[in-house]
Amino acid sequence: MSTSQKHRNFVAEPMGDKPVTDLAGIGEVLGGRLKEAGFDCAYVVLGQYLVLRKDEEMFKCWLHDTCSANTKQQNDCFTCLKQWCDSFL
């Protein structure tokens, strides 16, 4: 599977205080919706991913329910967080 440059940049370094829009699959529109729901930084979304026990189906469902992410956006964001966790946790 090929990944975007945004994905590669995200998983290449520690989380820090990256904005939610740095996550693969999350652009300005979805980022705005996530911010409105209280998920303003990538690490807050990571926290939700971990709370959901890194479960792909539950995380994608949460992402759809929270910001109306489509299937591709859900996949991109999930894969990005999974690979980041594989590298740093």
Residue 1 has pLDDT above 70, yes or no: no
Task: Report the predicted TM-score, pTM, of the whole model to 2 decimal places.
Answer: 0.94
pLDDT in tens, 20-41: 999 999 999 999 999 999 999 9
Residue 71 has pLDDT above 90, yes or no: yes
Topology annotation, domain 5-88: DNA polymerase; domain 1 (1.10.150)
Q: How many CB atoms lie within 10 A of CB 31?
A: 20
Mean pLDDT of the chain: 96
In contact, 17 and 41? CB cutoff 8 Å: yes
